Homo-oligomer: A and B are copies of this chain.
Amino acid sequence: MTSDAQVPSVFSGKSRPGGRTARTRERVLDAVASLLLEGGYDAVTMDAVAARSGVHRTTVYRRWRDTGGLLADSLDAAREHPWEPPDTGSLLDDLLAINRQIVAALTQEPSITRALVAASFRSPAAAHALRSFWENRYAHAAVAVQRAVRRGEAMKDIDARTVLIASSAPIFYELVLMRSPMPEDIAERYARAGAAVAAGRP
Cβ distance A185 to chain B, nearest Cβ, rounded Å: 10
Cα–Cα, bound, A177→B192 (Å): 22
User: Are B197 and A199 interface neighbours, CB within 8 A?
Assistant: no
| Chain B residue nearest to A173 in the complex (CB) | B169
User: Are A177 and B92 interface neighbours, CB within 8 A?
Assistant: no
Tally chain A residues at the interface, Cβ within 8 Å: 36
User: Are B170 and A202 interface neighbours, CB within 8 A?
Assistant: no
Contacts of A193 in B (CB 8 A): 162, 166, 193, 196-197
The answer to whether the Cβ of A172 comes within 8 Å of any Cβ in the partner chain is: yes
One digit per residue, 1 when the CB lies within 8 angstroms of any chain B CB and 0 when it does not, for chain A 158-202 equals 000010011011101110111110000000011011011101111
Contacts of A140 in B (CB 8 A): none
Docked complex: A105-128 residues within 8 A CB-CB of B: 117-118, 120-121, 127
The answer to whether the Cβ of A134 comes within 8 Å of any Cβ in the partner chain is: yes
Cα–Cα, bound, A193→B118 (Å): 27
Given known A193-B193, A196-B196, A196-B197, contact A174–B169 (CB-CB < 8 A): yes
